[in-house]
Amino acid sequence: MRKVLVIGYVWPEPRSSAAGSRMLELLGVFRGEGWHVTFASAAALSSHRADLSELQIEEVAVALNCDSFDGFVAQLQPDLVLFDRFFTEEQFAWRVERAWPTALRVLDTSDLHCLRDTRHALLKANQQACANETERYQVGPVQATPQVLYEVMADSDMAQREVAAIYRCDLTLMISSFEMALLQEHFGVPAALLHECALMLIPPTHNALPFAERQHFLSIGNFRHAPNWDAVLWLKHALWPLIRARLPQAQLHVYGAYPPPKATALHNPKQGFHVLGWVDDAHRVMAQARVCLAPLRFGAGIKGKLADAMACGTPSITTPIGSEGMHGELPWPGSVAADAHAFADAAVQFYQDEDRWAQAQQQGHVLLDSRFERGRLGEALIARLEELLMNREQHRRGNFIGAMLRHHQHKSTQYMSQWIAAKNAATTQKTEG
């Protein structure tokens, strides 16, 4: 039986974010193979976290900058260690390599953080030329080419850290075909170090509610995720006024985990703008809505909200950022718009046109079946991991840059961590004395 250690940046919250859903899917794939899975995290526990015991997954709380982690790994002797995002790799990978070097080291990026960060910076730069707040809200989504993105990203600290982490690992799971191409064509990352593993989604609901039994627009997303909060602001100040002017009775329901006071302050029933916050079952409200709005001006990865919309048979209006890496040559189940007026036009059209709406609903089912089929994606992932487990040494010999980066980068990380651990130990000893 294979033993897998997953080191989470946070405890998975599948009802709060797409990242949480993705993590639960990965854990389910491992357990489906009969593998023994241990999930460890240094994060604080949350009330919305998944009950991993239902999957017979052992939960272990670990500490940052503490040598006790080394003993834990040496005792567990995992075949594979999965790092949840690159910050976790930076904190723990050198300890894993020191304590149990034979373990396959796999990174799950969730999405490419440096890409999201760069697009956010470009959006802010585009807004700086605006004379006032009203004009800033009219700025559309970032549409920089891969070459421009690379030129901005190449000098950033986050890109250098994240790409270094990708090189240091035996394999990195990528969620988006766009990000796969960006890494290979512009950053020179070898294909042997990457594996495209999109969200492994629930199958579509083919008996979804029809047009006449649905009402309202819906927007959903964790408020702690910067692209989602920006989307709410763009909706409130630029998009919804355009839609509401043409559909005076329309209602928009905005859902999402962890809404801050500044978000709930936007709630205005007279304008049809309802900030409703946390919802226990996102699929239930998505399946009752007529149209999903996802006006993302920046971001990265694959958008769970749009995948959920397809699964629930709900057409979606989004931006090129939102649809990126999701549909390939297949038509989008709704509309992709690059500016405020085009977005509002599409939202109104799909809300009123039953034939276009029904066609989009069917296109969503086709897209899920074609590109996000859970069984096929899971089997491909397991096959790739088994291949690497069988040929680990040969694979590592072909990644000299990764070995070089581990030698240098991990030394500085290691010494800093050991200094903190020694300082903490001395403080504890002094307190007890």
Q: Are 80 and 5 in contact (CB under 8 A)?
A: yes
Same domain, 45 and 189: yes
Cα–Cα distance, 5 to 37 (Å, whole number): 6
Q: Which two tokens stand for residue 150?
A: 């690379």
Q: How many CB atoms lie within 10 A of CB 365?
A: 18
Domain boundary among 371, 387, 419: 371
Same domain, 383 and 326: no
Q: Are residues 345 and 223 in the same domain?
A: yes
Q: What percent of the chain has pLDDT over 70?
A: 92
* φ, ψ (nearest 5 deg) of residue 171: -155, 145
Co-location of 233 and 361 in the same domain:
yes
Q: What are phi and psi of 119, to 5 degrees?
A: -65, -35
pLDDT in tens, 373-418: 888 999 999 999 999 999 999 999 999 989 888 876 555 566 666 6
CATH number, position 340: 3.40.50.2000
Q: Would you call 152 helix, strand, or coil by DSSP? A: helix
- Model confidence over 325-351: pLDDT tens digits? 999 999 999 999 999 999 999 999 999
Question: Which range of residues forms the domain containing residue 316?
Answer: 211-371
Cα 263 from Cα 261, distance rounded (Å): 5
CB of 4 closer than 8 Å to CB of 36: yes
Based on the domain organization, do 240 and 364 belong to the same domain? yes
pLDDT score recorded for residue 303: 92
**Boundary-marking domain end, from 371, 392, 416:** 371
Using alpha carbons, select from 83, 354, 302 the residue that is nearest to residue 197.
302
The identity of residue 374, as a single letter, is R
> pLDDT tens digits, the chain, 433 residues: what are they?
999 999 999 999 987 788 888 999 999 999 999 999 999 999 998 888 899 999 999 999 999 989 999 999 999 999 999 999 999 999 999 999 999 999 999 999 989 999 999 999 999 999 998 888 888 888 999 999 999 999 999 999 999 999 999 999 999 999 999 999 999 999 999 999 999 998 766 666 667 899 999 999 999 999 999 999 999 999 999 999 999 999 999 999 999 999 999 999 999 999 999 999 999 889 999 999 999 999 999 999 999 999 999 999 999 999 999 999 999 999 999 999 999 999 999 999 999 999 999 999 999 999 998 998 888 999 999 999 999 999 999 999 999 989 888 876 555 566 666 666 666 666 666 555 5
Locus of tokens 């990174």: 107
How far is Cα 158 from Cα 156, in angstroms, rounded to an integer? 5
Q: Do 255 and 177 fall within a single domain?
A: no
Q: How many Å apart are CA 389 and CA 147, to the nearest integer?
A: 35
Asked if residue 274 and residue 242 are part of one domain, the reply reads: yes
- Measured in Å, how far apart are the chain's first and last C-alpha atoms? 46
pLDDT at position 15 is 79
Query: Which pLDDT score is estimated for 419?
Result: 60
Contact by Cβ (8 Å): 29, 200: yes
Q: What is the 3-state secondary structure (H, E, C) of 68-100?
A: HHHHHHHHHCCCEEEEECHHHHHHHHHHHHHHC
- State which of 347, 371, 395 marks the end of a domain: 371
Q: Answer whether residue 345 is part of any domain.
A: yes
Give per-residue pLDDT as tens, 310-323: 999 999 999 999 99
Q: What is the DSSP letter of 266?
A: T
Domain tally, the chain: 2
The burial class, CB within 10 Å (0-12 / 13-18 / 19+), for 242 is middle
pLDDT of residue 407: 77
- For residue 309, give both structure tokens: 């919309």
In-domain check, residue 124: no
CA distance 318 to 163: 28
Q: Are residues 73 and 173 in the same domain?
A: yes
The confidence score (pLDDT) of residue 182 equals 97
For Cα atoms 68, 157, 189, give the angle at the middle one, nearest 5 degrees: 85
pLDDT at 132: 86
- Residue 3 is predicted with a pLDDT of 98
Would you list the DSSP string of 290-332? SEEEE--SS--S--HHHHHHHHTT--EEE-HHHHTTT-TTSPP
Q: Could you identify the residue written with the tokens 């796999």? A: 106
Indicate if 348 and 254 belong to the same structural domain.
yes
Distance CA(383)–CA(215), nearest Å, equals 44
In this structure, are 350 and 400 located in the same domain?
no
- In terms of pTM, does the model score above 0.75? yes
Q: Is residue 132 part of a domain?
A: no
